Structure 1
Amino acid sequence: MDAVVAAPRALLGRTIVGPASVRIRDGRIVEVTTGEAPPGAEVLSDGLLTPGLVDVQVNGAVGVDFAEVDAHGMRSVAEALPSTGVTRFLPTLITAPVDVVLRQARAVLAASAALPDGVGARPLGVHLEGPFLSPKRAGVHDPSFMVEPGPDQISALLDDDLIRRALRMVTMAPEQPGGFEAVRRLAEAGVLVAVGHSDATGEQTRAAADAGARMVTHLFNAQRPLGHREPGVPGVALVDERFTLGLIADLAHVGPDVCRLVFNAAGARVALVTDAVAAAGMPPGRYHLGGADVLLTEDGVPRSPEGTIAGSALTLDRAVRNIVSVGVPVADALASATIVPAEVIGESGLGRLAPGAVADLVWWDDDLRPKKVWVDGRVVFDAEVPVAPPVAAGYATAGQ
């Protein structure tokens, strides 16, 4: 039986129109119309209807570190994310030895497969942020685990049938020995390659795009910086239209004026990401990232014990609000969390309200806070229904 959701305003593509109605059948959108709501529709009284948000860089949340995840932990994350508007997410694993990363990836995939239908947001596979990174731009990653992306290392990923089918994204430093050939092999295998934790020059960044790289991981962070003669990674990324730009818009990783600059220069290619760690959605305390300690203090920015920023406690709905607060139009901010990330990972059925798309929807209030969320046409979050606060799922809790 069809269900129809009607809203006074809706994000269609990159434009807000309204009123509009979305007809849902068997978890898919079958029709989108504008004008008066049809008989029998669920009519939303106010606010804005959009596609579900898509986050392609999530290391964990609500006390769960994906490097140590089990079925219970994955379910905790999946149930928590819809309250932030996220309906699809890409579990991300940071630098570890290749054999350890493969074991962690299998655990992520097993935990994802154990999720019951109709429970929360849905994982999209796995994103490996390392170990093929530059020790010069390690950030909080352990440089002792970083390796060159040689043929054997790439084969270890691609020759494993389970990993190859689920490997959606690899962040790497293409300037490392063997890097450009690794980019080619991964891209030819259908994996999204992102330049990140990289000391690449502008010329090397452009060469990575020539080899098939199509994204930059957390623009400006842990990469050769923008200079007025040597553009580094961000300078080329801002002008080379082949790149989608991942941006952590907590306004700590990248300041407000620079966030606005990025949107002014390349707004149609920005994909907002959280880079969230286990501390996201939790009170101040000690958590894990890749098995290592991360401290969340009252300022809301997770850091290593040495003080290095270690991922974020950002949620994607807050990233949208932050970007709107620096002067970016609402439609552009929302597109950067829906259609842009969906397209860069090749998911044409996500991130849009259009016939044939998956019926992932978010109803926002006038302050851009999620009121109700649907995944595959089923309600998975309703702000009017009380839920218990998140409790860390057995890995790290505040104060430990």
Structure 2
Amino acid sequence: MTTPSTPTQTQDSPAPAPTHMRAPVPVQTRSERFTSTQVADFPDVTGREVMWKHTPVARLAELISGELDGSPYVFDLTPAPGVTASWIARDDARIGAAGIPEDRASANAWTNFEQALLVSVSGDDVKEATLTRAALGGPARAAHTVVEVAPGAHATLILQNSGPAHLTENVEFLLGANANLTVVSVQEWDDDALHVAAHFAELAEGARIKHVAVTLGGGVVRLNPSAHLAGARADAELLGAYFADASQHLEQQVYVHHDGPETRSRVTYKGALQGEGARTVWIGDVLIGPKAVGTDTYEQNRNLVLTDGARADSVPNLEIETGDIVGAGHASATGRFDDEQLFYLQSRGIPEDEARRLVVRGFLFEIVQQIGSPALQERLQSAIEAELAVSVTAAS
């Protein structure tokens, strides 16, 4: 990261302000943010930093700066041909190949994990596996996972999270040439759970990733996925669906870096909020680098506020460093129910409360139905129905 030089003082210009009085110069390019695997390299988090200003940092203090248990934990992996899991040492060359931390919580996890969980995927036959974590417990914990997808391999990997947890972690996805991975990260934590995660994806030539984040549970959940489209014709689709209840904070900071030529990305996140203090945050950064000629990208975020007292923040950002692209765009919208949709349904005899549920159901199911796993889609649809049953009739 570069810092501005101090201007030369002349007789007509005032003396520069002391260094401690100057406002920090923001980093305008996402790829130029400071990164490190050591938590001590990051200053204390105040909540005024650009990457933390929307986050309830006081609630996450133990994960950002506290002592963490980095020992291996209990997990379950459903059997699938060509999918294996094992623990690897910190000095394994694959660790850090997809990305390294750009915030203190991610670095705290990196500094403290003892071994990384390696999930290896091979074979060109289509397969599905589920990695379940449901017994992490209450003490603050660090974790690191590496998902390595061999060239030409094709799989769906479900990361199922539930139960109690105070967890900060890093997850890396390494996709070889022409690999195809659908990864679905499902957060159904207990109501008081805390979860901070950084997901890094590195895509070789012709690789494709569909990353789906579904967050329905947890007190504070901050899941930040990033995709580096390094190889030519790499393709990334980042999808998200979330439902925030009273006092629940759900946050996503998405980053897509187009680096190779003729790469493509689509980012679509949709969320619903209800209850006093329900809060969601979505920040989408797309960087088209100088070598990424022929890029085709679009990102969007939609939020549906169901009751008073809920708040959604949505910030799309787009930076282009080459003029030779196919297309680039972004969109963001936050609003309440569509009165015309409600009127249409009620005019056909559907009661208002049921009409509201139908609107929200269709709004979120657009994301869920793109997962590609019928059993998981059905289960998530039932979970969303349960959320809707709590109270959508209070919307104004």
- Taking structure 1 as the reference length, the TM-score comes to 0.27
| Higher-RCO chain (CA-CA 8 Å, sequence separation at least 6) | 1
If you compute each CA radius of gyration, which structure gives the higher value, 1 or 2? Answer: 2
**Bigger share in helix:** 1
